Amino acid sequence: MSKIVWSVAAFVAAALIDRSLALLVGVWLVAWHVNSWVAGHESRLARMAAPTLFGLTLLVLWELAVHLFAVPSVILPPPSAIAARMATSGGILWADVVQTVFKGALTGYVMGCGTALLTAIAIDRSTFLQRGLLPVGNFVAALPIVGVAPIMVMWFNFGWESKAAVVVIMVFFPMLVNTVEGLKASEPMQRDLMRTYSASYWQTLFKLRLPAAMPFIFNGLKITTTLALIGAIVAEFFGSPVLGMGFRISTSVGQLALDLVWAEIVVAAVVGSIFYGAVALLEGVLTFWHPSQRE
């Protein structure tokens, strides 16, 4: 009852200030109560419906706010204008996705994460690398991307190769740190048992330590999915051919084509979510034995 009273009071207060504001508050309160009711259920359908309703509510409020308060499109275009621009610019958006995601981000992601995994195994075998490489890695990981990207463009030209190089730098050390910690996850009693079986280092690595490190490895893989996409997009601000999401965003801002800018942002968010979801799905398949997956 207190929630209803609070909601009515908020609506009345908004109505006394402005009718447009009252409409926005009314829509938000109704959606909030419906979403709270849906989120209170434990079914799988309810778990999917709750975030969907919340996202739709934000889009409706965005659309209403732009029209009710006459917000200029160069400041904030409505979702309907962004959707219309996405529908008419499908070819441009797809070409940008291919250039930025598949050529730059994905290539650098595979190279960086793969190299980090192999380097972590080398560090595990070498005390010198444990004491010498990891501190240097922490230093390099702190380098700002706006300083690294122009250098990579000068080294590898304006093509997707320079963007992939930036992505390699961004994903390498988060993946390395997670893998090194994961290789320590197996318990001493388990390693002693492998020694009693006269298992070699590589047998212990592949049969015990790498499986135990899988949750850590996938944690690094999931973290670096977003880093890879961000790195590729930002790198394109410092030089790229006439393709790419970062190139399109920077040029469209100069042309005041904010609907195309937001279309690129939406596509980047969708692609990043799919990328993360694919890695999470692969984690569930390969680490089904882990308690977090069983739950």
Query: Residue 110 has what pLDDT?
Result: 93
What number is the average pLDDT over the span 148-170?
Answer: 81
pLDDT at 239 over 70: yes
Q: How confident is the model at residue 25 (pLDDT cuts 50, 70, 90)?
A: low
Specify the higher pLDDT residue, 66 or 131. 66
Specify the higher pLDDT residue, 185 or 22. 185
CA 100/CA 247 separation, integer angstroms: 9
Least confident of 23-32, 44-53, 55-64: 23-32
What number is the average pLDDT over the span 280-285?
Answer: 87
pLDDT at 233 over 70: yes
Specify the higher pLDDT residue, 160 or 22. 160
Q: How confident is the model at residue 20 (pLDDT cuts 50, 70, 90)?
A: low
Query: Residue 112 has what pLDDT?
Result: 92
Model's pTM, two decimal places? Answer: 0.80
Q: What would the pLDDT profile of 92-138 be if each residue is shown by its tens digit?
A: 889 988 888 898 889 999 999 999 999 888 888 877 777 777 677 66
Least confident of 88-102, 185-199, 230-244: 185-199
- Average pLDDT of every residue of the chain: 80
DSSP letters of the chain? -HHHHHHHHHHHHHHHH-HHHHHHHHHHHHHHHHHHHHHT--SHHHHHHHHHHHHHHHHHHHHHHHHHTT--TTT---HHHHHHHHHH-HHHHHHHHIIIIIIIIHHHHHHHHHHHHHHHHHHHH-HHHHHHHHHHHHHHHTS-HHHHHHHHHHHH-SSHHHHHHHHHHHHHHHHHHHHHHHTT-S-HHHHHHHHHTT--HHHHIIIIIHHHHHHHHHHHHHHHHHHHHHHHHHHGGG---S-SHHHHHHHHHHTT-HHHHHHHHHHHHHHHHHHHHHHHHHHHHHTTTSHHHH-
Q: How confident is the model at residue 278 (pLDDT cuts 50, 70, 90)?
A: very high
Query: Residue 109 has what pLDDT?
Result: 93
